[in-house]
Amino acid sequence: MKALADPIKLKPIDKKDGLLQVIIETPAGSQNKFAYDPDQRIFALKKVLPAGMVFPYDFGFLPQTIAPDGDPIDVLLLMDEPAFPGCAVRARLVGVIEGEQLDGKDKIRNDRLIAVAEANHQYANIRKLKDLPSQWMKELQDFFVNYHNLEGKKYCLLGCKGPAAAMKLIQDAQKAA
């Protein structure tokens, strides 16, 4: 019997068309935070957000990358309907929310790539962050600040940048893997 592929070993970028292969950990609308456990090779429940708080969009990672926080680089994925943990979704990169997490005295970069699913209708015309409403961006940034506050960590926003800066972060994270 063949086992499923290990998602952290999949190709992160399709060389032919430049699309990312995002592995979903937590679907949009979920109060549960899931994470891939490489030791057990399964997706496991990591924590539960407080009542009334849910992930606003699908949240996942890019395989074969290691971000400064020690995990694969995070990706927030815009798509029409929520996916499920472990699902691979081809997506185009539109930018990055750069941030720094303060955990006690340690400062750790914790950036979130923003990508759009290739197969979708609602976000089909989104090519860069500036295509999204400014209020949407503010609310998304507020989500990450509040999410970290719940863990007793401070999250400082450093800014938002386009696809070129996001691709540089991916390249650095691939070298670190």
CA 81 to CA 4: how far, in whole Å?
24
- Listed in sequence order, the residues at least 6 apart from 159 whose beta carbon sits closer than 8 Å to its beta carbon are 98
Kindly give the residue spans of alpha helices, DSSP state H, lying in the chain.
Answer: 134-150, 163-176
Residue recorded with tokens 């994925």: 77
Q: Determine the pLDDT at residue 105.
A: 84
Percent of the chain with pLDDT over 90: 86
pLDDT above 60 for 149: yes
Contact 13, 20 (CB under 8 A): yes
- Listed in sequence order, the residues at least 6 apart from 78 whose beta carbon sits closer than 8 Å to its beta carbon are 57, 58, 94, 114, 115, 116, 117, 120, 122, 123, 126
The first and second tokens of residue 47, run together, are 């924590």
Ordered domains of the chain (ranges, CATH) = 7-176 (3.90.80.10)
pLDDT digits (tens, 9 = 90+) for 48-75: 998 889 999 999 999 999 999 999 999 9
Q: What is the CA radius of gyration of the chain?
A: 15
Give the residue with greater pLDDT, 5 vs 138. 138
pLDDT above 80 for 10: yes
CA 7 to chain centre: 14
